[in-house]
Chain A
Amino acid sequence: MSFLEYAPAPESRAILNLRDEYGLFIDGEFVEGHGTPFQTISPASEQRIAMISSADSTDVDAAVAAARRAYQRTWSRMSGRDRGKYLFRIARLLQERARELAVAESLDNGKPIKESRDVDVPLVAAWFFYYAGWADKLDHAGLGADPRSLGVAAQVIPWNFPLLMLAWKIAPALAAGNTVVLKPAETTPLTALLFAEIVQQADLPPGVVNIITGAGDTGAALVGHGDVDKVAFTGSTAVGRAIAKTVAGTDTKLTLELGGKAANIVFDDAPIDQAIEGIVNGIFFNQGHVCCAGSRLLVQENVHDEVVERLKARLSTLRLGDPLDKNTDIGAINSREQLERIRELSDAGVDEGAERWTAECEIPDDGFWFAPTIFTNVSTSHRIAREEIFGPVLSVLPFRTPAEAVAKANNTPYGLSAGIWTDKGSRILAVADRLRAGVIWANTFNRFDPSSPFGGYKESGYGREGGRHGLAAYLAPAGAARPARTHVAASEAAAVEAPRKSARTPKRQAKGTKR
């Protein structure tokens, strides 16, 4: 027998205690949505996991109203220290239920269990721990003494890191004293709904966290809602642009974390074996479904062939298959739609003259799969060098000098991340200085930490998430003007409903005419 055909080592699904149907989580309760329910499937088997409610505009209204009530009655009045206690409690519960969450994430998303277990879920807990610590120290967030929260945050997150993106959004928002309405992606709602259970377990006051599920129209209704003070979105540049248009001219604050086409630059003096690992981690981590993925490999021409040869050898050892098997390196593509897009762009690569190489691996019959693929002979004009593929596809481009590497790396409408591989410290600093990207990794790739800010240049979005900088997206300086609607509402504190609605209505109409 071949040792390398490791015997199956599947993580047990027994730890999951899923319901057959999930409602919307509004005001601390699961309620049925008014839209048409949809099913969420496992992309590895195409089997149904559960039925999920869909929120229509009345559900969005209810969720935003619940968040507003919670903001005014409890959360904005609570001391930072007490908010911190809730966040610490959530963080501990996330750790306690880590294995369950990891299994659910791999099941719903298709990512390998070793990633959800060793990367996603530990980072989720770390994010809550980190921002829990900030809750009573907002005076030191860089906005002056006594900064104020914004109010209700509408948050829309993508399917590539469902629970981690939830943590990136919810943890800083709550620490800063905001309440949230969050919409997970249509294809990956499961862990957000498990998180709703954790919110209940933690006894968080009702309405502080609301989770509504649905497709794009639900998200559009949420971000366009007149009574939200803040919109945070992570996802595609096209949708981000539409959201920016929606909130333009309103008081709503906006942060966007969008696409990327990161350059991973390998110089000829790079630590070669570690660079190969970094390239693999940069583009094949999470099947390449990473906005900051190192999808453009820029290799110094004098080591190009050696790097490509070693890379192919390494890719041949990657194991594609059941996401719940602990030895799986490459899981399933999240949806048929995404698989089609990856195929389309890969075909375009071949048509435009790039040379395709795909690792040999057995593709399961059911589910959505794409074997790790490298394109060489890629020109900067090829679609696969310009457009975000969001899949396990790497485009390799040669360069001759550091100046050319920088020019090619910056030659993209995106600017989320970049990587530099060299043994020379001074070159790392010199090149990093000239790269226009929000995150630059040196001799590593795809490393995240809650204390480190993350965000993009140009079409990769604006605003920063993580670290002290991430708090600024959810706070305003003490003296800053408060939008009219919340000002009225806040001054009348407990006498909630009526005055707020009247304050909000004219604004909505104004927005309508503008569009």
Chain B
Amino acid sequence: MSGSQLVHPARERAVAILGGDPDDATLRRYLHGIPGVDAVGLEQRAAGLGSRSIKTTSKQWALDKIIELIDLTTLEGADTPGKVRSLVAKALRPDPADATTPRVAAVCVYGDMVPHAVEALGAAHGDPDDGLVSVAAVATAFPSGRSSLAIKLQDTADAVAAGADEIDMVIDRGAFLAGRYGQVFDEIAQVKEACARPDGTSASLKVILETGELNTYDNVRRASWLAILAGGDFIKTSTGKVQPAATLPVTLLMLEVVRDWHRLTGQRIGVKPAGGIRSSKDAIKYLVTVAETVGEEWLQPHLFRYGASSLLNDVLMQRRKTTSGHYSGPDYLTID
């Protein structure tokens, strides 16, 4: 395992927590020692959180917050520079009719589209905390991850070199399901290394678990711990290419892991549900779940994101409704 030669603070911490090198046996002992998940109870809790009634001022705040937390995404084989420019324009001015509308957190594109996104953003490219828009790139043979490690690392390094601020990698679900936890750990750790820039800074790493393929909540919980132990900055539910994608129970479960990790180490890890969140109503349920599970401080772009595309226009429509008192049609909103 080449990863063991790298000296990385995340790795050192993992060794300390695991009580040994992150090989298959040690990881198995640790991950299988985590308490199980009762599916019925988890779904019941998620449904309970989903029944909160968010009205008036709370709703207005929530709608703006959702926009600020969106990774506006296009991940198609048919993506072109023109399509990416259009996406960026939408990210910068989601509602051209209302200048008070906040910008989204980031645009999320395939690695080869990063230069076009960076160019289109121009001076607006930067940290969402400063009111700017980041560029996120999917990497590591997204969405299947079925490629050699060398290609995955090169894929990552190329995107970072082209100006990506965030890398959305996929884990090797095959290795995970076969119990080769050490391999999954190593890949994540090495992709994290590949996120490093020459100036010593590093792109933020989102680790996509593809929960729809992991199938059980127990697996999701274990994969979440694994991804965080290996140095992921964010854990992300899905690629959006597999059904089911993000669900509220899965996101709740991942938030619980993040909460427990924070309790254990003091470090704050981000969570990104992606795919399948299309309505404001659904998105608000996620906000509630975040706030009541890990706390309100997680409602900021460095700790929570929505991976979405069609969600934005529904939020804009609701936003207009709260300001004007009536609904407009989809033709009054721009498409990207």
Contact = CB atoms under 8 A, between A and B. Distances in A.
Interface of A: 1-9, 114, 118, 269-275, 277-278, 317, 326-327, 423, 443-444
Contact of A278 (B41, B55, B58): B41
Contacts, number: 75
Contacts of A326: 51-53
A272 B257 CA distance: 12
B36 interface: yes
Contact of A269 (B35, B41, B59, B291): B35
Given A277-B45, A317-B292, A3 B62 contact: yes
Contacts of B287: 3
B58 A3 contact: yes
B35 A271 contact: yes
Contacts of A277: 41, 44-45
Contacts of B45: 273-274, 277
11 contacts: A3-B65, A5-B58, A6-B54, A7-B59, A273-B37, A273-B41, A274-B37, A274-B38, A274-B41, A275-B38, A444-B41
A81 B292 CA distance: 50
A55 to B, nearest CB: 39
A202 B229 CA distance: 63
Interface string B90-117: 0000000000000000000000000000
A118 B61 contact: no
Given A274-B41, A277-B44, A423 B55 contact: no
B59 A3 contact: no
B51 A118 contact: yes
Given A7-B57, A423-B35, A444-B40, 17 more contacts: A3-B61, A3-B62, A3-B287, A4-B291, A6-B54, A6-B55, A7-B55, A9-B55, A274-B37, A274-B40, A274-B42, A274-B45, A277-B41, A277-B44, A326-B51, A327-B52, A443-B40
Contacts of B51: 114, 118, 326
Q: Which of B35, B57, B59 has the most CB of A within 10 A?
A: B35
Interface string B22-63: 000000000000011110111011000001111111110110
Interface footprint category on B: 20 to 34
Contacts of B36: 269, 271, 423
B119 interface: no
Contacts of A2: 296
Contacts of B291: 3-4
A9 B54 contact: yes
A139 B52 CA distance: 46
Contacts of B296: 2-4
B56 to A, nearest CB: 5
A327 B57 CA distance: 15
Contacts of A273: 35, 37, 41-42, 45, 256
A-B pairs, 3 with minimum CB distance: A274-B41, A9-B53, A326-B53
Contacts of B61: 1, 3
A478 B65 CA distance: 68
A3 B297 CA distance: 10
A7 B56 contact: yes
B299 interface: yes
B35 A8 contact: no
A321 B253 CA distance: 28
Contacts of B52: 6, 326-327
A2 B287 CA distance: 12
A176 to B, nearest CB: 33
A317 B295 CA distance: 10
Nearest to B62: A3
A508 to B, nearest CB: 51
Nearest to B55: A9
